[in-house]
Amino acid sequence: MKTLGHWIGGKAVESVSGNAAPVYNPATGAQPTQVSLASVDEVDAAVDAARQAYADWSQSSLAKRTAFLFKYRELLDAHRDEIAELITAEHGKVHSDALGEVARGMEILELACGITEKLKGELSTQVSNRVDVSSIRQPIGVVAGITPFNFPAMVPMWMFPLAIACGNTFILKPSEKDPSAGYRLAELAAEAGLPDGVLNVVNGDKVAVDRLLSHPDVAAVSFVGSTPIAKYIQSEAVAHGKRVQALGGAKNHMLVLPDADLDFAADNAINAAYGSAGERCMAVSVVVAVGDTGDELVAKIADRAHKLRIGPGDDPASEMGPLITREHRDKVASYVGGAREQGADVVVDGTGYSVTGHPECADGFFLGVSLLDKVSPEMDAYRDEIFGPVLCVVRADTYDEAIHLINSSRWGNGTAIFTRDGGAARRFQLEVEAGMVGINVPIPVPVGYHSFGGWKDSLFGDLHVYGNDGVAFYTRGKVITTRWPDPAETGGINLGFPTSS
């Protein structure tokens, strides 16, 4: 069995903690790998390597940083299939979806390649007599990223390319469920010429997380995961004086108005609800059918759901793969039975699903897609973030009722409206309480040069990830006021408050 250790100071490091966790192939249920779980001392070693590397990297020229980033981008492009295969093997998502993940992560790397533009300062001349004022942005130090299992390559790439482009050094703590993609990203960074210690990977569990949150040399922490853990990350990081951005869970609504193209809406509901087996924080988990659209829309979604091909991610015919673990699969399945008991109509029941044509998948963590109609806000399937291939349909008589329903949610990550009415769409984008809004776009994940993040219980901290917010998070501002007096002038004493005159 393969054992995955850590990447510290530019080289592979075998763990001496004696603790390890299983890494499964979700399609087969087999365990080909185990991942080492770092001790406090091993986390400290990674922080020390990053701290030592920071002295030189923070003073490196923008030309040197961008030269690395461009080379790294070329190397990742050449290895994108390999990285996608690692994602499929440990997460389970189909290969095409894994390739898409790598591509979206590389958008942030491409943004980082233009860091010279993002770090340009400002200058105001002659603000007072012979006085100029300039502002610059500088790196903040050693920063850490704690990333989730559902996007083992993309979410790390949301963080470390911008962080190191800004002059920081980075410690990645990937999910212990699928750590190989993040580890491979660090290996390729070293191959592209990144100096030792600038990017480190520490595999681990809560022991590693807590040490990163408390270590005095870690200046900032980025996190993506569930809302309860995001709250914990924020409180612990702030208690130890750190800057923090912590992205939590979601319950994303897709509002469908009566004038919408229902075939188009049904296609997009399927894509957004069941892609990546629903293990996306931006997945549509609730369709809000307004007026008399419900029956027809549900029928169209059900017809498409029955035709989805579910199987191992390395089979090109598969459109959806397994869930990440057996325990998670069983938890997701329990919501379907629970919804039936609480009064919902189970239009499509994906529980008890088994893959055909792949005997090696008999013990895989597969679950079919489920469609629940006439769900009410009091039901567990509506209130909880299920994080699986379960789509709820809620009926609303009017737009006002629908927008009130959406805005009453404790989450505010992403939302979408499907309509042909530009006025209704404009009203929705202004009235809805969510950080990311799609108009006839079901998963409105911003491109790399706009920032990603939600509202309410979907975000803890002031700044979103990547885009301009990402640059701001990984830098701190400094304002410099300069006077070069005329040699012929005399000074004099003035105890009054200085003014710009």
> Which residues, including other chains, have CB under 8 Å from residue 52's CB and lie 6 or more apart?
197
Residue 431 pLDDT greater than 80, yes or no: yes
> Which residues, including other chains, have CB under 8 Å from residue 265's CB and lie 6 or more apart?
254, 256, 297, 300, 418
Q: What percent of the chain has pLDDT over 90?
A: 95
Structure tokens at 491: 């000074």
Residue 497 pLDDT greater than 70, yes or no: yes
- Under 8 Å between Cβ of 428 and 404: no
> Which residues, including other chains, have CB under 8 Å from residue 117's CB and lie 6 or more apart?
none
- Under 8 Å between Cβ of 333 and 367: yes
pLDDT recorded at residue 318:
98
Res. 499 pLDDT band, cuts 50 70 90: confident
3-state secondary structure at position 196: coil
Q: pLDDT per residue over 360-400, tens digit each? A: 999 999 999 999 999 999 999 999 999 999 999 999 999 99
Residue 406 pLDDT greater than 90, yes or no: yes
- Under 8 Å between Cβ of 200 and 171: yes
In this structure, the number of other CB atoms found within 10 A of the CB of residue 326 comes to 15
Mean pLDDT of 188-201: 98
- DSSP codes joined into one string, 369-389: -EEEES--TTSHHHHS---SS
pLDDT recorded at residue 490:
67
37: amino acid identity, one letter: L
Residue 42 pLDDT greater than 80, yes or no: yes
Q: How many alpha carbons lie under 13 Å from residue 147 in its C-beta half-sphere?
A: 29
Report the C-alpha gap between 339 and 286 in whole angstroms: 14
Q: pLDDT per residue over 413-426, tens digit each? A: 999 999 999 999 99
pLDDT recorded at residue 487:
79
Residue 491 pLDDT greater than 70, yes or no: no
Q: Choose the catalytic residue: 166, 281, 361, 392.
A: 281
In this structure, the number of other CB atoms found within 10 A of the CB of residue 261 comes to 14
In this structure, the number of other CB atoms found within 10 A of the CB of residue 474 comes to 28
Structure tokens at 361: 């998948």
Residue 492 pLDDT greater than 90, yes or no: no
Mean pLDDT of 438-445: 97
- Under 8 Å between Cβ of 147 and 170: no
Residue 501 pLDDT greater than 70, yes or no: no
Using N-to-C axis directions, what is the helix angle for 95-113 and 80-90, rounded to 10°?
130
Residue 351 pLDDT greater than 70, yes or no: yes
Report the C-alpha gap between 450 and 468 in whole angstroms: 7
281 is catalytic: yes
The residue among 418, 407, 419, 315 whose CA lies nearest residue 88 is 315
Mean pLDDT of 153-181: 98
Report the C-alpha gap between 419 and 5 in whole angstroms: 50
Residue 498 pLDDT greater than 90, yes or no: no
Mean pLDDT of 84-111: 98
Mean pLDDT of 257-276: 98
pLDDT recorded at residue 373:
98
The residue among 305, 296, 283, 294 whose CA lies nearest residue 373 is 294
pLDDT recorded at residue 330:
98
pLDDT recorded at residue 3:
97
